[in-house]
Structure 1
């Protein structure tokens, strides 16, 4: 390896480490790890409601089979679980991000910071909803709209969680508001009184910002954030060019041995998870206009751009079995086959290796960009169904396409096409690697 390459890799490693460990990024990333059961539970309940219990859905449902209509009695059960998870997803995210940031700020395990974040978030939300009843517009007061507590309010929730906990942490660590109490007073009581003023000032500060924007611009803080920040970001991230740029960044980091998905996770996950949650919510509402659904979301990423793991290395494994003459490649491919079925490919990435391998980094970078483009146009044209449900990222191919789209044969065919295309892309580079002298046997 050249001295220039060594120096460049070292500098990129330093940059990647700073990005990954930046406290706000780390707080969002850690919170979303914890939130995965919430996302998957809500998606599972909606899926079961529509493909098992519903007697009114337009698609296939087990409850429509003669003699199985009794399954419809469980609809309310799964709807309740769905409501408790997806419709309050943002509240859970705000609480967890607040706790994680407090930990990053040196406050230790601080559930009070999570409570501060939630209270501050609610303080900036409109407490009314407007609806139409018998063609008359009616305003209902003292309620929180689902738009704020479900996926659509996530961006504002993250902004408020990070901002409020930074204010709260600064006030607590200043010790200006500490209460001095006799030793006989329990420590928890003393701590509660010491947190009183920081808590109150933080929530009031957030409420004051929303109050000012409402008076000055006649818009809530939510409306301003959504219009000028969230919507433009969604337009970029949920469009094909933005998606490909994000994947390109991840792949470039992978090529020098840095976990690219971890680098982009704090940016990718909130927006793409919000997109799949919004789709699931539309399914629960019975919306059939597919133009309202987000083509690009977290399940789209996993279904078409991560076949066998980052770089779509399932295609590489198949190409090695078909065309490689190298014993070391074949040995690694055999060991990697079972993990690759569940989208795990570190054995390939670091075992062949793909990292810093001039024969494999090019197809490793371009393959997910091409398969993602294929998946996008197949979905946009209506050939493949839109991904509607969140799936565990370890769901095997074919199964993932079928389940995430609610049973779209077009999506399954598209995913198979993507696998074939990935084999075609990797094959010339595998043939080229056959000519490379093997210096030593590689073991995983």
Structure 2
């Protein structure tokens, strides 16, 4: 195990660290973090409109009997909220990715964001403002910002205004020519696609690339890979969740939208794997299903002072899926005893959750509860069913069973080391007492002489 850890530290850790700090991935990750409240709100709004409780729809329709545009008035609230969240998600991402990336280069984030949004609509973003245009929004956001940054650094393209002109006006004129060039470039690219009989780049890309990719990402092997990589990165002290987040969010938003659409239409939900799938059935207590580790410490690790102390402090945040106190307090990082269960547990939980969903025992996730939603409750909300809560509970039991022998092993080792230390201290005390006694006798002998 030690040789494996040493090999990983030498070869894997530097590469993973560079990837985690790569500015383009960080820009994408932070963009999705900003939009997370909107995505959660939009998912809840649609779920409320279609809550699968017997008699709920009839009850609400009777109370709010008025109809507008062939829909009951009470459902309009959810629809209007969706229009301000999921319906314009790609526009937000186009702006935020560019803003974050430009800011990392110390270039005007606002100017880059505006240029990115303009470029997005230039390539046909009007038809893909929702999650269907997400990939194009990411591509346009990154490339347009790189172009804008390069052009803004050319002094021949900067229009300088005389002194006394308000700063906002001066900045807008400074960005004028670079912005015009970038948007014209995207207009030219779009025209080439139009000449090839592709009327809208966004919808075309969604059909030939994004949809197939989402299907691949929703497969069991991909879910298993994600369940392996995230705790592996955390084991070496890297924030695995943040590093995987750009990929997760890229497949998550379109998958949630497609699942909600299918759910509303009464059709089979197409995508099993998405972020609420991981949050509700795998990352319970945090990465590594550490809610199971906390319970295992309570059951079999009570004689381990370090584990019980850290476990008590980590229990409250652990209920809300925050496990940094455990990760760095036990620690889990570079802990060879906990390495196996920390990696193995989420992979087994993914397997159980995936096949339970694929087999029809549990509905697929259609809503996105906040990631801090306590375990079991999150499963109920994500799937809009009691079966989701049962599946989460089953995975918690599995995680406790896997972690318990390793916690017991750690406890035995800790107690053995503690006894060794006490024994060594006792031996040292006896030796010191003996030395003191001999010294006293010798001193007495000298005094007699």
**What is the aligned partner in structure 2 of residue 121 from structure 1?**
120
Aligned to 2:225: 245
Q: How many angstroms apart in 2 are the aligned matches of 1:424 and 1:415?
A: 14
The Cα shift of 1:281 comes to 4.1
Q: In structure 2, do the counterparts of structure 1 residues 333 and 68 end up closer, same or farther at CA, with 3 Å as the change threshold? A: farther
Please, which of 329, 336, 341 is the counterpart of residue 351 of structure 1? 329
Match of residue 429 from structure 2: none
2:376 matched to 1:398? yes
1:302 is aligned to 2:282: no
- 1:312 matched to 2:296? The reply is no
1:171-182 equivalent positions in 2, closer than 5 A: 171-182=151-162
Q: Give the SS at the match of 1:359.
A: helix
Is residue 277–residue 390 contact of structure 1 (8 Å, CA) maintained in 2?
no
Which residue in the other structure is 2:58 paired with? 64
Partner of residue 141, structure 1: none
- Is the 8 Å Cα contact of residues 321 and 330 (structure 1) preserved in structure 2? yes
Given that 1:317 and 1:333 are in contact with CA atoms closer than 8 Å, whether structure 2 keeps it comes out as: yes
For residues 337-370 of structure 1, the C-alpha deviation after alignment (integer angstroms, 9 at most, x for no partner) is: 2211111111111111111111111010011111
Aligned residue for 1:21? 21
1:134 maps to none
Q: TM-score, normalised by structure 1?
A: 0.86
> Which stretch shifts more, 369-378 or 239-248?
239-248
Hey, which of these two has a bigger chunk of helix by percent? 2
Unaligned runs of 5+ in 2: 66-71, 420-449
C-alpha contact 2:248 2:274 (8 A) present in aligned 1 = no
* Range 39-48 or range 174-183, more displaced: 174-183
Distance (Å, rounded) in 1 between the aligned partners of 2:260 and 2:60 = 27
3-state SS of the aligned residue for 2:74? helix
What are structure 1's unaligned runs of at least 5 residues?
52-57, 127-143
> Structure 1's 66 and 353: CA in aligned 2 closer, same or farther, altered over 3 A?
closer
Partner of 1:133: none
Alpha-carbon contact 1:329-1:352 (below 8 Å) kept: yes
Q: Secondary structure at the match of 1:436?
A: helix
> What is the CA distance between 1:61 and its match in structure 2?
5.4
Instruction: Render the CA deviation track for 1:8-50: whole Å, top value 9, x for unaligned.
Output: 4265443333212211101101111110111011112112222
Matches within 5 A, 1:41-190: 41-51=41-51, 59-60=53-54, 62-65=56-59, 69-70=63-64, 73-108=73-108, 110-125=109-124, 144-145=126-127, 148-190=128-170
Within a 5 Å distance, the mapping from 1:226-245 to structure 2 comes to 226-227=206-207, 229-245=209-225
Q: 2:240 aligns with which of 244, 254, 260?
A: 260
* Cα deviation, residue 267, structure 1: 1.7
Quick one: distance in 1 between partners of 2:130 and 2:60?
36
Equivalent pair of 1:50/1:61 in contact (CA under 8 Å): no
- Measured in 1, the distance between the counterparts of 2:359 and 2:4 equals 46
Residues 10 and 262 of structure 1, relative CA distance in 2, 3 Å threshold? farther
Report the CA distance shift for 1:44/1:227 in structure 2 as closer, same or farther (over 3 A): closer
2:322 is aligned with 1:328 = no
- Say if 1:417 and 1:181 are closer, same or farther in 2 by CA, change over 3 A: closer
Kept in 2, the 8 Å contact 1:39–1:86? The answer is yes
1:44-102 alpha-carbon deviations (Å, 9 max, x no partner): 21122223xxxxxx643545349962386432122111111111111111111111111
Once the two structures are overlaid, the 10-residue window that deviates more, 164-173 or 181-190, is: 181-190
Which of 241, 252, 256 in structure 2 is aligned with 1:276?
256
Query: Which residue of 2 is the match for residue 289 of structure 1?
Result: 267
Q: Secondary structure at the match of 1:434?
A: helix
- Preserved CA contact (<8 Å) 1:275 1:298: no
Q: Partners of 2:335 and 2:401 in 1: how far apart? A: 19
Counterpart position of 1:195: 175
- Tell me the distance in 2 between the aligned counterparts of 1:270 and 1:60: 34
| Structure 2 partner of 1:208 | 188
